[in-house]
Amino acid sequence: MGLLLGDTHTGRDGGLAVRVWAAVPQVRHDRRRDRVESSPEQIAQSAQIAENMSQASGVPTRVVGWYHSHPHITVHPSHVDLRTQKMYQGMDEGFLGLILSVFQEEVASRLGKVQMTAFQTAPGGEEKRVGVTVVHPRSW
């Protein structure tokens, strides 16, 4: 798990667009099996890394989201993921969640696959899918 660094802007369709160009891995603060939360200290350190990137590159950078994996299960956010995302959105309405479902296998071909979803929590508490673009730093 970790935090995503990048920026947000209004997309061509008028909706929120999130660009991600860095990730800061986090140590799990809560060791329960179904939790992937960072400590406030780690979040502050990640914000400082984003500030340092902004100063070094001249490109405004901030913490724009969080990511984690779902090994061997669906890519859809759990009720815990949606609750965690809602908390983050309370601090920044543009914050996004990213889940990678890893170690999946196509039954017929027996080929491995990785799935990814970007989401936010809608006002009713359900999943709201979000588009995300991963940007290589040299394409700024």
| Model confidence pTM above 0.85 | no
pLDDT tens track for 37-94: 777 898 899 999 999 999 999 999 999 999 998 887 888 899 989 999 999 999 898 8
Q: Which residue has the tokens 């983050």?
A: 88
Ranges of each domain in the chain: 19-139
Q: Does domain 19-139 have CATH number 3.40.140.10?
A: yes
The set of residues, in sequence order, having a beta carbon less than 8 Å from that of 45 and lying 6+ positions away, is: 24
Contact 69, 5 (CB under 8 A): no
Write out pLDDT tens, residues 83-126.
Answer: 999 999 998 988 999 998 877 777 788 777 778 888 999 888 88
Q: Could you tell me which of 109, 135, 120 has the C-alpha nearest to residue 15? A: 120
User: Residue 15: CA atoms inside 13 Å, Cβ hemisphere, count?
Assistant: 8
Contacts of 77 (CB under 8 A, 6+ apart): 85, 97, 99, 117, 119, 127
Cα 49 from Cα 116, distance rounded (Å): 25
